């Protein structure tokens, strides 16, 4: 890229959809604002959503808490796409409970007393609750540093978010596959939680998602 002309990374009004956020990559070192981590993550995903290693390759000297936090934000954000697709199919009359395998019924933690919400409600409430928590001034007041105590909160969010994937996988397989083909989100998520040991392996009930995902040994090992 020619650096002689100053590049403005900006979505100008009237941009085409394909041009949205399509600007030359900015090296992480040059990102001088406080959203650098999010920018980096989104930039890498945009380049190739299937390249999990690149996406989850943490820059050196980056605080791990913020790295995990920003990734989880990104997951919750992208899960909206899956929710939109589920809304069309996952009706409260059919999926009256949040289940994956027959082993567990998950209760919705968004209410004062955990409630047996239908799956679609569970999904929405979980994402809303996660949005609330991850944007909370109390636990995550900053996006350049995250307290250790707050990092602990990420685990429970991850566990609940994983149930959305598993429900979709076991009950709405076609949606899950279509979504996964486009975003590789579940693969990325599994890789993420395994790499940073956020969720214990026993909970990861989904089978190894596909064969062609190659390169990441951690995933392969954990799910083998």
Total of chain residues touching another protein, rule CB under 8 A: 55
Does 136 sit near another protein (CB under 8 A)? yes
How is residue 138 written in tokens? 């109390």
Q: According to the annotation, is 125 in a ligand binding site? A: no
The reply to whether 26 sits near another protein by the rule CB under 8 A is yes
The number of helices, as runs of H, and strands, as runs of E, in the chain is 8, 2
Residues 194/219, Cβ–Cβ less than 8 Å:
yes
Binding residues for another protein restricted to 137-166, rule: CB under 8 A: 137-139, 141-145
Based on the shown chain and the rule CB under 8 A, indicate whether residue 41 belongs to the binding site for another protein. Answer: no
Which residues have C-beta within 8 Å of that of residue 157, sequence separation ≥ 6? 72, 76, 130, 133, 134
Interaction pattern, residues 180-209, with another protein; x per rule: CB under 8 A: ------------------------------
DSSP state of 98: E
> Sign of dihedral through CA atoms 148, 113, 165, 128?
negative
The reply to whether 111 sits in an annotated binding site is no
Answer yes or no: is 76 a known binding residue.
no
Q: How far apart are CA 56 and CA 217, in angstroms?
A: 13
Written as six digits, the tokens of 214 are: 């190659």
Radius of gyration of the chain (CA): 18
Rounded distance, CA 221 to CA 204, Å? 13
User: Shortest Cβ distance from residue 106 to another protein (Å)?
Assistant: 15
193 three-class SS = helix
Q: Does 55 bind another protein (CB under 8 A)?
A: no
Please say which residue, 4 or 33, places its beta carbon nearer to another protein. Answer: 33
Minimum CB distance to another protein smaller for 124 or for 195 = 124
171 is in an annotated binding site: no
Binding residues for Zn(2+), as ranges, are: 90, 95, 167, 172
The footprint of another protein (CB under 8 A) covers 8-17, 20, 23, 26, 33-35, 38-39, 42, 73-74, 76-77, 80-81, 83-84, 87, 92, 108, 110-111, 117-118, 120-121, 124-125, 127-129, 131-139, 141-145
């Amino acid at each position: 890229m020619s650096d002689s002309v100053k590049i403005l990374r900006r979505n100008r009004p009237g941009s085409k959809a394909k041009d949205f956020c399509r600007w030359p990559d900015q090296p992480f070192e040059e990102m001088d604002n406080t959203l650098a981590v999010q920018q980096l993550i989104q930039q890498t995903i945009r380049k190739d959503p299937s390249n999990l290693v690149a996406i989850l390759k943490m820059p050196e000297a980056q605080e791990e808490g913020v790295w995990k936090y920003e990734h989880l934000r990104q997951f919750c954000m992208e899960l909206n796409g899956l929710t939109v697709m589920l809304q069309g199919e996952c009706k409260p009359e059919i999926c009256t409970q949040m289940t994956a395998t027959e082993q567990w019924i998950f209760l919705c933690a968004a209410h004062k007393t955990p409630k047996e919400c239908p799956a679609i409600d569970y999904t929405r409430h979980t994402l809303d609750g996660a949005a609330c928590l991850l944007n909370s001034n109390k636990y995550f007041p900053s996006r350049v540093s995250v307290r250790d105590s707050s990092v602990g909160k990420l685990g429970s969010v991850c566990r609940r978010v994983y149930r959305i994937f598993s429900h979709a996988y076991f009950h709405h397989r076609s949606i899950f596959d279509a979504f996964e083909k486009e975003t590789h989100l579940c693969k990325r998520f599994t890789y993420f939680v395994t790499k940073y040991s956020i969720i214990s392996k026993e909970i990861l009930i989904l089978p190894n998602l596909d064969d062609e995902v190659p390169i990441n040994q951690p995933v392969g090992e954990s799910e083998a």
